[in-house]
Amino acid sequence: MHMADALLSPIVGGAMCAVSAGALAYSAAKIKKDELCEKKLPIMAISGAFVFAAQMINFTIPGTGSSGHIGGGILLAAMLGGFPALLTISAVLIIQCLFFADGGLLALCCNIFNMGVIPCLFIYPLIFKPLTKKGFNAKNISLAAVIGVVVALQLGAFGVVLETLASGITQLPFGAFLLAMQPIHLAIGVVEGIVTAAVLCFVYKMRPEILNSTRSRTAISSGVNMRKIIVSLAVITVLVGGGLSLFASAYPDGLEWSMEKVAGTTELEASGEVHETAEKAQEATAFMPDYDFKDANGSGTSVAGIVGVCITFALAGGAGLIISKLKKKNKS
């Protein structure tokens, strides 16, 4: 559900930059020192890398000719907490935009809001946490994951519709676009919810301290050995980004599918100085557009997956480390 620049006016894109930047600043300020303890920082880095890899895999929605991929906001929030999760998913989206031309530069902050702010700052505290208030087990983790993801994706899809409406995109009339977007993202949300539940149950079984500490916003005890879970997640991440990404569905994703149903095309044309500047800036930074080498035919997908995983690991982990040190410095 990565929006392209052609779906937005400069005014809406600029306004959403202010909103998302404010949300990121608020999240950085509200993170507790214990949420970025020594044991949690590697989890922040590897979970961000995992979401990057997982987003490369589009799964087919049977009978529709469409596909979807996980957003990862609820997954990250359950493992890290809402505030660290927003920073992590933002790192994923920034890397996708700048280096792989996935989602427009003007639309970046809309994508951060729809795929990050909504699940991490609203759905996680209002739905996921209440549904797991009696403690974690496979049943309530799965229920909270599926419901949380479905609601978050429905609101994110609705956000896309509202943003195009506010931008005056006449090719996508509100009613028709809404009726296309919501049902297909409901189906995508159910699949993502199941995937999220499976990953969280796996993590909880291996190291329940991760989810428990996140819920209570406390540090993981220094005596807890995190090596096994970190290595396991790292191996899964590399396999997903470097291997399974080759088998991603070729069908258009839910947003593109909805656009084709309403406007007859998966891509709209945009003109104007702001759009042209954003496009040129993105072309200058994107060294592997569409997760491939320039002028190649899919041969670089595995390389892009591994490269993206490494960059995300470094950026998410580095951001967490910097904030952690600042929190400790302010505390002293």
Per residue in 120-140, pLDDT (tens digit) is: 999 999 999 999 998 899 999
Quote the pTM value: 0.95
Per-residue pLDDT at 296 exceeds 60: no
Phi and psi, residue 221, nearest 5°: -55, 140
Using only C-alpha atoms, the chain has a radius of gyration, in whole angstroms, of 19
d(CA 76, CA 89): 8
Per-residue pLDDT at 150 exceeds 60: yes
Residue 41 banded pLDDT, cuts 50, 70, 90: very high
Domains annotated for the chain, with CATH where assigned, are: 5-238+246-325 (1.10.1760.20)
Per-residue pLDDT at 108 exceeds 80: yes
Per residue in 227-254, pLDDT (tens digit) is: 999 999 999 999 998 888 888 899 999 9
Phi and psi, residue 248, nearest 5°: -65, 145
Contact 158, 183 (CB under 8 A): no
Judged on CB neighbours under 10 Å (0-12, 13-18, 19+), 112 is: buried
